[in-house]
Chain A
Amino acid sequence: MKKKVIEVSGLTKRFGHFTAVDHITFDVEEGEIFGFLGANGAGKTTAMQMLCGISKPTSGSGTVAGFDIIRENEQIKRNIGYMSQRFSLYEDLKVWENIRLFGGIYGLSDKVIARKTDELLERLNFREERSTLVKYLPLGWKQKLAFSVAIFHDPGIVFLDEPTGGVDPAMRRQFWEMIYEAADRGITVFVTTHYMDEAEYCNRVSIMVDGRIDALDTPGALRRKYDTDSMDEVFRQLARRATRNE
């Protein structure tokens, strides 16, 4: 059996009387691409914050990258990668400066950073953009660079929060090919998206409704279970059950 990179049980977060995340229990295996879906307000962001060690659960327990999410949240932060759609790189720094900055934050030595920077630019075919300010890069390029920076320190797992929103169709697919490459290298990928075709690219997906995980399986199994040929329809059937209006 493969190693579990995420293992949580009964994870719950309450804000006052409001239960944002309601007893979620699931595992993610090493090298898996795990799609974390749900309607706006279903509790995805709160759940992700707990997994990343930046929010303490009200109750429940679990480990991420081998560390306890309550007692060892600082170690979790050091051993994961994170990329959000809104903010991931400094627009007013050059490409190499961004890489240097994030490499430094994760404690890599100058020598390692220099070597890995060359490798990264080579792999992305970005050599000529080394000294370009990030704000001048097209969005799709920025997202590819941001992803590479998020896994620059070779984390066991990377969290991607809607990484492809607004990206053009061809670039969106190239981005997913990068995700596959990372997963092939053994990096576990935990990803949220509103594109249901992208849900198909995941090994397994979970769908959150009103703070609970109401479905978790491979895309194929979910389509069969809900008797439809599209993940879009699976999502609709589940999201319609939502009763809370948050």
Chain B
Amino acid sequence: MVEVTDLRKRYGRLGRTLALDGISFTAGEGEIFGVIGPDGAGKSTLFRILASLILPDSGKARLNGHDVVTDYQKIRQIIGYMPERFSLYQDLSVEENLQFFATLFHTTIEENYHLISDIYRQIEPFKKRRAGALSGGMKQKLALSCALIHKPEILILDEPTTGVDPVSRKEFWDMLQRLKEQGIIILVSTAYMDEASQCSRIALMQGGSFIATDTPQGIIGSYREILWSVEGSRITALLATLRQHPGVKSCFAFGERLHVTVTKDLRPEVLKQELIGKGFDDVRIAPVTPTVEDCFMAIEQK
């Protein structure tokens, strides 16, 4: 069980930079708790405090009953932590890195091989290669293997998929799902909003605060805007025209379409006729289910 109560942290001269502005949440066994937000939201600060690497200014955090400040030695035994930057030994081989982390925690690769076999098997053919010479996706797999080798109760993964291509990201999340089933609590942060659906619950983070915490479905369910998707050729001109419209509250590109939020009294047929009148002959308008990214932008704008 992860129990976090009103964590606060400031940085810099005179504490000018507010990194955490009162964070509270709980996460339980078999849960993937995702902290989703852009760079600078405070995700890494939160995870570093939970990993007992830095101290909060105030507030409490307990991991399976152990306080991250007073019981830090115990904390370090029960967590597996994967920092944002690749921090394995670049000059050691794949196998040597894993051996090193196993030894640190008084265990062996053989003893906990079952935990990592799924992941490690994919990089085992390259076990003699220097870690520094691995591709991005393979580095992530090695880092996750090293974080798991001592059989942690809680995994803390700080942006494990940043800079990783969509296919490797998918594989990485599949691995997390299997670890979750083994009862490990997983705290994971990401700047990719599309990864939210992989989490049991998510917190949307911005400016040091959780601006919403719920299941991904719950977050989408509490979206209160009227959202349409608008398609057509000349998409940039369409975007500029829609932004000028008094009934349009916001308009953003979403892949090949536009997502538009509108006031209650605007009807899609009316808007369509207006746009056709302005020369957008092939425009198509349809209601659309919001994504977590729509929700994030709607809450952020308030």
Q: Which residues of A pack against B, CB within 8 Å?
A: 38-41, 85, 138-140, 162, 165-171, 173, 176-177, 180, 194-197, 200-201, 219-220, 230-232, 235-236, 239-240, 245-246
Contacts and interface: CB of A to CB of B under 8 A. Distances in A.
Interface of B: 37-41, 125-126, 135-138, 159, 162-170, 191-193, 206, 236, 239, 252-256, 293, 296-297, 300-301
A246 B166 contact: no
Contacts of A220: 256
B162 A165 contact: yes
Contacts of B136: 40-41
B275 to A, nearest CB: 19
Contacts of B301: 170
Nearest to A39: B165
Contacts of B300: 168-170
Contact of A245 (B37, B38, B138): B138
A160 to B, nearest CB: 15
Closest 5 CB pairs of A and B: A168-B38, A41-B135, A40-B136, A166-B39, A200-B255
Contacts of B297: 169-170
A194 B125 CA distance: 27
Nearest to A170: B297
Contacts of B293: 169
Contact of B256 (A166, A195, A200, A239): A200
Given A41-B137, A165-B163, 7 more contacts: A140-B38, A168-B191, A168-B296, A170-B301, A235-B167, A245-B135, A245-B138
Nearest to A138: B40
Max chain A C-beta neighbours (<10 A), residue from B135, B163, B169, B255: B255
Most chain B CB neighbours (cut-off 10 Å) among A168, A200, A236: A168
Contacts of A166: 38-39, 159, 162, 191
Nearest to B138: A245
A79 to B, nearest CB: 26
Contacts of B159: 166
Given A165-B162, A220-B256, A239 B167 contact: yes
B84 to A, nearest CB: 10
A171 B165 contact: no
A167 B301 CA distance: 16
A246 B297 CA distance: 37
B116 to A, nearest CB: 18
B206 A168 contact: yes
Contacts of B39: 139, 166-168
Contacts of A197: 253-255
A169 B137 contact: no
Given A40-B137, A140-B38, A165 B191 contact: yes
Nearest to B39: A166
B125 A173 contact: no
B166 A235 contact: yes
A176 B255 CA distance: 11
Nearest to B300: A170
A139 B135 contact: no
A173 B163 contact: no
A220 B233 CA distance: 12
B110 to A, nearest CB: 25
A54 B274 CA distance: 51
A245 B133 CA distance: 11
Given A139-B40, A169-B297, A219 B256 contact: yes
B193 to A, nearest CB: 6
A236 B170 contact: yes
A140 B222 CA distance: 27
Nearest to A143: B39
B254 A232 contact: no
A134 to B, nearest CB: 14
A171 B39 CA distance: 11
Nearest to B165: A39
Contacts of B166: 194, 196, 232, 235-236, 239
B253 A176 contact: yes
B240 to A, nearest CB: 9
A200 B236 CA distance: 13
Nearest to B137: A40
Contacts of B169: 194
A173 B255 CA distance: 10
A229 B269 CA distance: 25
A165 B159 CA distance: 11
A231 to B, nearest CB: 7
